[in-house]
Chains A and B, each alone.
Chain A
Amino acid sequence: KNQVEQSPQSLIILEGKNCTLQCNYTVSPFSNLRWYKQDTGRGPVSLTIMTFSENTKSNGRYTATLDADTKQSSLHITASQLSDSASYICVVSPYSNYQLIWGAGTKLIIKP
């Protein structure tokens, strides 16, 4: 069964610190892997999209990595800001059909 699992479920860090969020997936083959940011009470917003052949993709202080061999992705946030407090969702697009497989997300809280 195609699954996307994220860890940790929640994370609290101090402002200015770095953090890394993990995503493990069983979807194979896949077309692309995405990371979304979801603020409380809002819809998800795309951060990065990586095809199966890409290893890394950056968007400002956000850097996503992908290891297709181990079926793992990570999202690294550098020099965290209070506005980074949100849920971060990993999403995999299977190659065979159009329905995305969404992870449950990691809730990140940045404390001043």
Chain B
Amino acid sequence: DAGITQSPRHKVTETGTPVTLRCHQTENHRYMYWYRQDPGHGLRLIHYSYGVKDTDKGEVSDGYSVSRSKTEDFLLTLESATSSQTSVYFCAISPLGGEEKLFFGSGTQLSVL
């Protein structure tokens, strides 16, 4: 998957607990994205980054925060997980902006009970 590793691949947690998902890339791409995918819905952009310490909100950013302290790592944090955040989370990277030339990781299945 184009040098992208998401961890963990699966996680089960309880409502109200903090959760951090990690995306690690070896391609040295500038742009990184977090999406969620729910049954019957298209992918939805949560947050994205256009450089180290440079991030911005996507369509469904409420309840999520991100950090990028190194080019290769982009972290997604759910400060207090809710059942509505049960989803599959995908990280994507790109050498270009504007969600062009996206390469996706294999996803993290998150279940919030």
Contact = CB atoms under 8 A, between A and B. Distances in A.
Interface stretch (B12-20, B68-76, B79-87, B90-98): B90-98
Nearest to A103: B42
A101 to B, nearest CB: 7
A103 B42 CA distance: 5
B45 A99 contact: yes
Most chain A CB atoms below 10 A, which of B41, B59, B98: B98
A101 B44 CA distance: 8
A44 B43 contact: yes
B101 to A, nearest CB: 8
Sort chain A's interface into a size bin.
Answer: 10 to 19
Interface residues of B, number: 21
A41 to B, nearest CB: 7
A43 B99 contact: no
Interface string A82-112: 0000000101010000111111110000000
Interface in A28-75: 41-46
A4 interface: yes
A44 to B, nearest CB: 5
Contacts of A91: 42
Contact of B42 (A45, A89, A98): A89
A7 B45 CA distance: 23
Given A98-B97, A98-B98, A43 B92 contact: yes
Nearest to A34: B102
B104 interface: yes
